[in-house]
Structures are given as structure tokens and as C-alpha cells.
Chain A
Amino acid sequence: MKSLLAEHNKLAIAAEQIEILQHGQPGGFALVPFQQKLEETGLYPLNPTNIETFQVNVGKMCNQVCKHCHVDAGPDRKEIMTKETMQQCLEALKNNPSLKTVDLTGGAPEMNPDFRWFAEEIKKLNRHIIVRCNLTIILANKKYHNLPQFYKQHNIEVVSSLPFYTQDRTDRQRGNGVFEDSIKALQMLNEIGYGKDGTGLILNLVFNPAGAFLPPSQHALEIEYKHALMEKYGIGFNNLYAITNLPISRFLDYLLQTGNYEKYMEKLVDAYNPIAAQNVMCRNTISVGWDGSLYDCDFNQMLELKLACSSNHISQFNIESLNKRNIVIGQHCYGCTAGAGSSCGGAVT
């Protein structure tokens, strides 16, 4: 499997995705605009509460090519954050102590050659770091084998996708052999204390549906995951985050290719939950792109929907104006407001 970009798929272009999301397919039905839903529930315009999470996408390069990836990441993607941009991120962190958590994502963030330096510099600023580690990167190359020790040394919270506790569903979504390698990587993390009570080393897993449906109850699923992974593989972890697949990039392509697009969108719209809408992550997060551009969230970043604010690049980071902006919305936002809601930290209700 290749990225949409490598396949010259028209959905590699953000504007093409937005066109489908806004106007549907030819002959298809018209969706209620997300803005209208927010208006009906008294939430428009959507504004930030208080920005606390600084999410940095350090590049689109990845060792995996997952079917649902909203980044369209893969080994062929060369967009990588430079050290200069990282330095600008550090400057923004230094000047804004209210940014308590730095969430490092990608691609596989560890593939950025300056990843470890960047993480160490962030720790010097005494910030909590979350790394979105795809697990298989730890086994992908000898130079990554000591990542668990690196994470431990800097007390970095690890958040890892494991779409299911069985091989078939995981490999269907993330590629052949991913489940087996993920299990090995989880065992390596457990061995040094991650996911174990009393160590303070946090290991959270992420479930996302392997198909055109919404996640089931996060709480019930966490119990099943814990039971299944412990019984079969002796693996422990802290929390499970159930995340909804947003209809963008490769997941949008999957929905269109399989004829599931309209039903899935209908499902998201029907499941609109105003309480989830109140708690969406874009209200307390700023997302930094690999080139330093600022976005309301990682999804807006992939759709190239820049901030509606004069401070829309890391070089002009200004938290006062960012806190006053209106958040840019679109039809894809239904993905974060459906059912129990969805964020990078799982359900929001």
C-alpha cells in the first residue's frame, strides 16, 4: 500500500477532500452544515477555552501505511520539521508557561532526525511530553530499539495505536505483521515499567474502528482490552482511548471506495452530541504543522485549514490573539462530536 500522494490520488489534495465534505458526491444527499448544528446548540462561533496542549506534528514520514491514516503518512512522505522550526517551538513554549503539555505526533515522530534532541529540550523547559508512538517503529531498525529507555529516561507518556486486541483487525487496518510487532514493542515497554502500577510511566492505547462505524463504549472496551492483552500476552497498560475515524484523507478514500461515505456521514450527523461539541480538543489545543504553520487541530492541519488569526505561524506565536480566535470548522468536525465524542485523548464525555 502507498500513500495517496504516491498514488497520485486526487484526495491527496486537501481542497478535493473539502469539496466532497462540503458538497457531497454527485447525486448524493446534502448534509446539515456543521455550523448549523453548532448554532442550534448555542456553540457557534466555537472559541478556545484555554490553550494548554501544544501538539507538534514533526513530519509525515512513517514506517507504516495505515488504511485509515488522516495524515496520509508513509515511508515516501518527506515533509519533516526542521531544527529551526523546532527552535521556534521551544521559544513559544519558553514564553508561554500555560502550555503545559507537548504532544508529539507525525507520521512516526521518532523518524525525524532531531526528535530526541527536541524532546530533551522540551523536558529542560519542564513540560509534560506525550509521544504518539506507533509501536512498530521500536522494532523497525536497530537505532530505534532503545526508544523505550529514552522515553523512560525523560518520563515521556507513550500513546500508541492498537486498533484491536486481535491480529486480524489490527493487521487489516495497519498492515501485515503490525500486530505481532506491536505486541513485542508493548512487552518491551512493560519490561521497563511502562503501564505498570506505581512506576509513573504512562502507557495508553488507542482503539479506532476497523471499518465504517463508531467506537463502542470506551470504558467497556478498556476492560476487554485489559483482560485480553493480559491473559494472552501478559501485557498491561493504563488507559484506552477510543477514537473515531474522521472522514478525511485515506479514511475518506476508503469510505468512497467502499460505498460507505454517505451512510457513515449520516451516522456521524445523527450521533451529534452537543456535550461532546462543548468539549472538543481544539478548544484547548494548538496544532503546529511540520513547516511551523498553526492550526486548530491535527485534522484541520491535514485539510490545510489554517487558523483564523493573524498569528498563524510558530514564528508569530501569540497566545492572547490565539485565545481570542474563532475555531475553523467544517463537515469533518462531526467526527469529533459524534456519540461520546472523540479527541486525541479518546472520548470527551
Chain B
Amino acid sequence: MNSYYNADDLKKFGKVSDFQKNLGDKFFAYYGDVFKDSELTAREKSLIALAVAHAVQCPYCIDAYSSDAFEKGWSEAQMMEAVHVACAIRGGASLVHGVQMMNKVKEIAM
């Protein structure tokens, strides 16, 4: 192993069941169900997955859902807006803690 991330490993995702079949099988069955057309379409879910992939910064997920979202018809601009949503939430999550900082400073300041 000379790299922590290898693009070919994405194809081996299913192999995680080799070490723990029961939990692996349950996960993939659940995963498959999550992405089916239901209250949200598979197409909408793909765009959400793309945004989440960026929020969790998973290169495998970004690889998979960039292809999947584009294949399902989302445009480049729509996909980038989804990434901005992830970015805004991540940035906002930091910034909203600024209120906590302000509260603390106000508590101790004269």
C-alpha cells in the first residue's frame, strides 16, 4: 500500500462484506433501498448524495456521484450549486459557533 486512496478501490466497495458478511449485506440492502425512487426521485437523491459527498469530503463518493448525477441529467451548474450548498452549510456551521464565542466573551468581558 503506497497510497491511502486508490480510484480502483471504489469498485471493491462491495468486498467489505468479505470480513463481516452479515452487517455488510444489511448495509448494502439498506443503501440500495435508500437510493430507489420513492418520496424523492432517484435523480433528486443523486444530487443530495453529491452535496453530502463534498461535505464529508469522500473522494470515492465524489467520483461515484459526480458521474451518477451527470448521468441522471443534472447540469454542471446545478451540480456546482449543490456543492455550494454543502460549502455554505459547512461554512455556516463554523460561523454559527461564532455566537458561542461572542456569548463567552460577553460573559467574561467588562
- List A contacts of B41 (CB < 8 A): 220
A220-B37, A220-B41, A224-B43 given; A213·B70 CB < 8 A: yes
A213 touches B71 (CB 8 A): yes
B75 touches A211 (CB 8 A): no
A216 touches B75 (CB 8 A): no
- B79 CB → nearest A CB, Å: 13
Asked whether A168 is an interface residue with its Cβ less than 8 Å from the other chain, the reply is yes
A209 to B70, CA, bound (A): 10
Asked whether A268 is an interface residue with its Cβ less than 8 Å from the other chain, the reply is no
- List A contacts of B73 (CB < 8 A): 164, 216, 221, 224
Asked whether B15 is an interface residue with its Cβ less than 8 Å from the other chain, the reply is no
Asked whether A166 is an interface residue with its Cβ less than 8 Å from the other chain, the reply is yes
Asked whether B17 is an interface residue with its Cβ less than 8 Å from the other chain, the reply is no
B75 touches A166 (CB 8 A): yes
A164 to B72, CA, bound (A): 11
Residue tally, chain A, CB below 8 Å to B: 14
- List B contacts of A216 (CB < 8 A): 43, 71-73
Most buried by B among A164, A168, A215, A216: A216
A168 to B75, CA, bound (A): 9
Q: Which chain A residue shows the least CB distance to B37? A: A220
A217-B42, A220-B41 given; A211·B70 CB < 8 A: yes
Q: Give the total number of A-B pairs whose CB atoms are below 8 A apart.
A: 23
A59-82 vs B, Cβ < 8 Å mask (1 yes, 0 no): 000000000000000000000000
- A249 CB → nearest B CB, Å: 22
Q: How large is the interface on B (under 10, 10 to 19, 20 to 34, 35 or more residues)?
A: 10 to 19
A221 to B46, CA, bound (A): 14
- List A contacts of B70 (CB < 8 A): 211, 213
* Interface residue ranges of A43-59 to B (CB < 8 Å): none
- A31 CB → nearest B CB, Å: 16
Asked whether B67 is an interface residue with its Cβ less than 8 Å from the other chain, the reply is yes
* Interface residue ranges of A209-262 to B (CB < 8 Å): 209, 211, 213-217, 220-221, 224
- List A contacts of B67 (CB < 8 A): 213
* Interface residue ranges of A151-177 to B (CB < 8 Å): 164, 166, 168-169
Q: Which chain B residue shows the least CB distance to A216? A: B72
A84 to B62, CA, bound (A): 57
A216 to B67, CA, bound (A): 11
- List B contacts of A224 (CB < 8 A): 43, 73
A214 to B72, CA, bound (A): 10
A221 to B71, CA, bound (A): 11
Q: Which chain B residue shows the least CB distance to A224? A: B73
- List A contacts of B43 (CB < 8 A): 216, 220, 224
- B46 CB → nearest A CB, Å: 9
What are 13 A-B pairs at a CB distance below 8 A? Answer: A164-B73, A168-B75, A169-B75, A209-B71, A213-B67, A213-B70, A213-B71, A215-B71, A216-B72, A217-B42, A221-B73, A224-B43, A224-B73
Residues of A within 8 A of B (CB): 164, 166, 168-169, 209, 211, 213-217, 220-221, 224
Residues of B within 8 A of A (CB): 37, 41-43, 67, 70-73, 75
Given pairs A209-B71, A220-B37, A224-B73, 13 additional interface contacts (CB within 8 A): A164-B73, A169-B75, A211-B70, A213-B67, A213-B70, A213-B71, A214-B71, A215-B71, A216-B43, A216-B72, A217-B42, A220-B41, A224-B43
Can you list the 10 inter-chain pairs with the closest CB atoms, starting with the nearest? Answer: A213-B71, A216-B72, A216-B71, A213-B67, A224-B73, A220-B43, A166-B75, A220-B42, A220-B41, A220-B37
